[in-house]
Structure 1
Amino acid sequence: MTHYGTIQNYDSGKGSGSIAPEKGGDALKFGKSDLQQEASEPETGQRFSYDTRQADGGSNYATNLRQQEQEQGKGSQGTQRIQAGKQQG
């Protein structure tokens, strides 16, 4: 079953992070090998779909993470870049 959540954190040095389920509950850990698009590192707040698996110790973790498209008009307000006072002469 596919679940959805947002990235809470990701440590590129360790190659691991956690994702907060949209439906609530405890955050799930994941590793770099669980990412389907390994070329790009996840950023805090990004929405991902994922599956869950049970680790040997009995706790669940996220696997098969896939980044989802952000909905228009949701999320951050966006960044406006204004270059004031820069003129080429």
Structure 2
Amino acid sequence: MLDLTVRFLSWVLSTCMPQPRGRHRAAAVPALRITPPPPRFTERLDGSTSSLVRPYVLTPDERRRQRERRRALYLATLGIDTGPDHIHGIPVGATR
């Protein structure tokens, strides 16, 4: 696969770059020697060493508040205000 990539890139470069002519033409391009990268993981991972914690799991109270926020955002797209009844301790009435 790597050899095909190198061949394709050399073909693209040869078609895009002008070919030098005459006495001062470029010397032959040496062949590219590409070594494979070293392996990333040399040892196996042990799954029993890490705890199985799912940080995205919400408590019932967090889930209720998230559902209320999402419902308020959806209703706001429809032009319906479902804001709080009290802001800084002052009761706020609906304006129509």
Q: TM-score, normalised by structure 2?
A: 0.16
Q: TM-score, normalised by structure 1?
A: 0.16
The higher-RCO structure (CA 8 Å, 6+ apart) is 1
| Structure possessing the higher radius of gyration over alpha carbons | 2
Q: Which structure has greater helix proportion? A: 2
